[in-house]
Amino acid sequence: MSRPLVSILMGSKSDLEVMQPARDALTEMGVVHEVRVLSAHRTPDALFEYVAAAPGRGVEVFIAGAGGAAHLPGVVAAKTILPVLGVPIPSGHLLGLDALLAIVQMPKGIPVATFAVGKAGAGNAALFAVAILGGRRPDLAEKLAAWRKAQATKLLADSVIE
């Protein structure tokens, strides 16, 4: 089996549906990835072990989705110098605003790149991961450019409403 370049993490299996666009985008671009449910507060030791071992398997970028207090992306970032892309999951009474603020407001020193709340953020995090990887992989950069072009072509094909 090929080595995974991207790790998609989420704090709960209940996050899986929101994180699905990240999986779909990476699959579409042919980027090998792995997906794990690991929680910063429910399974911290297993999370630390996973983050420590992942680069040895090939992982170069982490995407971390979490809802509520949303510690996961920040804790992953605390344990690695690889880029961490945070996706706020809409859940509970605050519908993701809580997670957005928790992830985006990392204090200086341990950065997390924060994306939009929900599925758009998950998909964009994957596209951003491809952009990072594409810096040293012309094949991936080309795939990303082709994907953008196809998106524009599709929009323009449907642009005349009346």
Give me the residues that bind ligand RP5 (CB under 6 A), please: 10-12, 14-15, 39, 66-68, 89, 91
Q: What would you measure as the largest C-alpha separation in the chain, in angstroms?
A: 58
Choose between 3 and 41: whose C-beta lies nearer to ligand RP5: 41
Residues 6+ apart with CB under 8 A from 131: 141, 144
Name the residue nearer to ligand RP5 (CB basis): 12 or 20: 12
| Residue closer to ligand RP5, measured from CB, 40 or 140 | 40
Q: Tokens representing 39?
A: 């929680």
Nearer to ligand RP5 among residue 86 and residue 123 (C-beta):
86
State the DSSP H helix or E strand holding residue 66, giving kind and residue range, or none if neither: strand 61-67
Q: What is the DSSP string of 102-159?
A: HHHTPPTTS--EE--SSHHHHHHHHHHHHHHHHTS-HHHHHHHHHHHHHHHHHHHHT-
In the complex, the smallest distance separating the C-beta of residue 78 from ligand RP5, rounded to whole angstroms, is: 16
Closest distance between ligand RP5 and the C-beta of residue 105, in Å?
A: 17
Nearest distance from C-beta of residue 44 to ligand RP5, angstroms? 12
CB of 123 to ligand RP5, least distance (A): 17
